[in-house]
Every structure is written in structure tokens, then in C-alpha cells.
Chains A and B, each alone.
Chain A
């Protein structure tokens, strides 16, 4: 079985400062990895994903993440945050060998990013 650990439940950061949200996964097989963002009072939307290939993945709104197989990590980064980045961020994992029709995503517990003016 696979699992996801988000190491920080809350991360406060000043506007225009860099940020890193940490995610570690546990799996006995290769995985697909995802970051989702949830703005206040909204549903989740996909921020970026790693399926294969380059370990540095770029997403929307200037976010990027790096897949590190040896450290089983998929940390999310942004060089300069904006007030509008205040949201909750979820890391998720999927077993790529499960069928396309029935696979499930396992989500981490989330990290609340608060951008301070």
C-alpha cells in the first residue's frame, strides 16, 4: 500500500519570500505524484503532476516540484509567493500499475500556506 506524508500542517511565509512545502511518499512500486491546491471555500484543483521523465515538474501559478526517488520525496516550491497563494496544498500518489479506469488517489493530510503581507 502507498501512503503520503506532508511534514508541515501549516506554513506561514511573508509575501515575495520563497516557500517549500514538503511531501514524502511510501510505496513498494513506482508511483505517479501530484500536488493539488484548495483555495478557501472551493474544491481542489490540480497544480502539477509527475508521471515520468524530467524530475523537475512545472505547474500553474509559478509552482514547481522535484521528484527525488532516492529520498522518496516530491517537494513543492515557489521562488516568490503572492497573497493569492494562500490556500491548502495536498500531495497525492497513485500506483501507475492500477487500471486507468479504477485507480485511486491517496492524499496527504494537507499543508496550509498562509502568505503574510
Chain B
């Protein structure tokens, strides 16, 4: 089972460049989300989606866009990268019916913005 797959694993950008972090899951999970992890800050929710065509903002949405055209994919877009977006990004998913708090995480994408 592939689970939650994130690509790329590593990326270096220059300030102002754009890019998309890809997230795909093969578990038919309705709920998907993006977190960023920074030293001493824990995980902070960027955006989430409860199903295809439905997205909503989390705690730190500024500078990021998302869309959800299929159940499987939930890409995160940086339109104009800034050094403050240097971070490790995690995609996580779960079934909507799962009431127990378990999120299934990808292995992360490490982004550096110069």
C-alpha cells in the first residue's frame, strides 16, 4: 500500500518563484490536509479539504493555494515563494467516518526558499 505520497521530497526555490507540492493518497479518504512543521512551532494547519471540490483555510493559509478536483489528490501551491515559507510540509488524510483522531501522514516535503 502506498498510503500518502508526497512529491518532491526536497526542493530549493528562489524568492518569488512558484511551485506546487503534490499529495496523493490511494485509501479513498475524504479528508485531506496540509501542515507545515517549523522548529519549536510544532505542526500548523495550512489548508484542508473534506471532499472533492471543498477546501477551507487552516491556521496559517496566507501565501498558499489549494484545490481538490479528485478524491486522491490535494496539491499545495506557492504562487510567489518567500523565505518565511522555508519549512517541512506534511500532507495528511483520513476517512471522514473515522472519529478517532488518527491522521495518515506522508513522509514530508522539505522546502528551502532562498
Contacts and interface: CB of A to CB of B under 8 A. Distances in A.
Interface of A: 6, 9, 32, 34, 41-46, 49, 51, 90, 92, 94, 100-102, 104-105, 107-110
Nearest to A94: B101
Contacts of B99: 100
B96 A105 contact: no
Nearest to A49: B101
A34 B58 CA distance: 20
B42 A107 contact: yes
A5 B90 CA distance: 21
Contact of B48 (A6, A44, A104): A104
Given A41-B107, A43-B108, A105 B42 contact: no
Contact of B50 (A46, A101, A110): A101
A100 B96 contact: yes
Interface of B: 4, 30-31, 33, 35, 40-45, 48, 50, 56, 58, 90, 92, 96-103, 105-108
Contacts, number: 61
Nearest to A43: B105
Contact of A43 (B42, B50, B96, B107): B107
Nearest to B43: A107
A94 B100 CA distance: 9
A46 B4 contact: no
A90 B101 contact: no
6 contacts: A32-B100, A44-B92, A46-B103, A49-B102, A94-B101, A100-B96
B42 A44 contact: no
Contact of A45 (B31, B100, B105): B105
Given A9-B40, A101-B30, A107-B42, A46 B102 contact: yes
Contacts of B106: 43
A101 B96 contact: yes
B101 A44 contact: no
B101 A105 contact: yes
Given A43-B106, A43-B107, A101-B30, A109 B101 contact: no
